[in-house]
């Protein structure tokens, strides 16, 4: 692993989508793995059943960067476009893509009210 901008030892990384070629490779490998499992499967047993093949939305790849080419911590928390590379120092601290928006935050669990004997409202 090296920084994708300069080849130095990476300090940080973030996720990006796979390019079309990478995704085709990835799905090809997955298909080959499944074909092999079917070939090796015990004929006395049920044929292995697989879920749908992965799509672009299921897989990410890491972009590595050294300290000089790192993006901001907030940006690194997002999933970046397939073209994303470590940013050019001239355009720091942004990378060259528009990251996907962050998933909506988990709704806070609604706590049950404490019973009256514990100093709560008892739900009233």
Identify the residue among 2, 6, 38, 54 touching Zn ion (CB under 5 A).
Answer: 6
Q: Is 18 in the site for Zn ion (CB under 5 A)?
A: no
CA distance 24 to 90: 33
CA distance 106 to 123: 24
Tell me if 56 sits within 8 A of 15, measured CB to CB: no
- CB of 8 or CB of 27, closer to Zn ion: 8
Both tokens assigned to 13: 């990384």
Q: Is 84 in the site for Zn ion (CB under 5 A)?
A: yes
- CB of 23 or CB of 69, closer to Zn ion: 69
Strand blocks (E) in 2-118: 12-17, 60-65, 79-80
Report in angstroms how near the CB of residue 78 gets to Zn ion at its nearest: 8
- CB of 23 or CB of 97, closer to Zn ion: 97
Q: Is 5 in the site for Zn ion (CB under 5 A)?
A: yes
| Cα–Cα distance list, 70 to 14, 33, 88, 97, 102 (Å) | 9, 35, 9, 14, 19
Q: Is 69 in the site for Zn ion (CB under 5 A)?
A: yes
Please identify, among the stretches 18-26, 36-44, 59-67, 100-108, the one whose residues bind Zn ion according to the rule CB under 5 A.
59-67
Count how many residues are written for the chain: 124
Where along the sequence are the contacts to Zn ion (CB under 5 A)?
3, 5-6, 8, 66, 69, 80, 84, 95, 97
């Amino acid at each position: 692993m090296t920084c994708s901008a300069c080849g130095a030892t990476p300090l940080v990384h973030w996720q990006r989508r796979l390019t079309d070629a990478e995704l085709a490779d990835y799905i090809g490998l997955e298909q080959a793995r499944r074909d092999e499992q079917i070939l090796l499967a015990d004929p006395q047993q049920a044929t292995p059943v697989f879920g749908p093949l992965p799509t672009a939305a299921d897989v990410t790849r890491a972009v590595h960067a050294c300290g000089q080419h790192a993006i901001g911590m907030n940006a690194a928390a997002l999933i970046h476009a397939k073209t994303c590379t470590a940013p050019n120092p001239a355009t720091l601290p942004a990378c060259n893509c528009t990251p996907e928006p962050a998933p909506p935050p988990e709704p806070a669990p609604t706590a049950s009210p404490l019973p009256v004997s514990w100093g709560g409202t008892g739900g009233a």
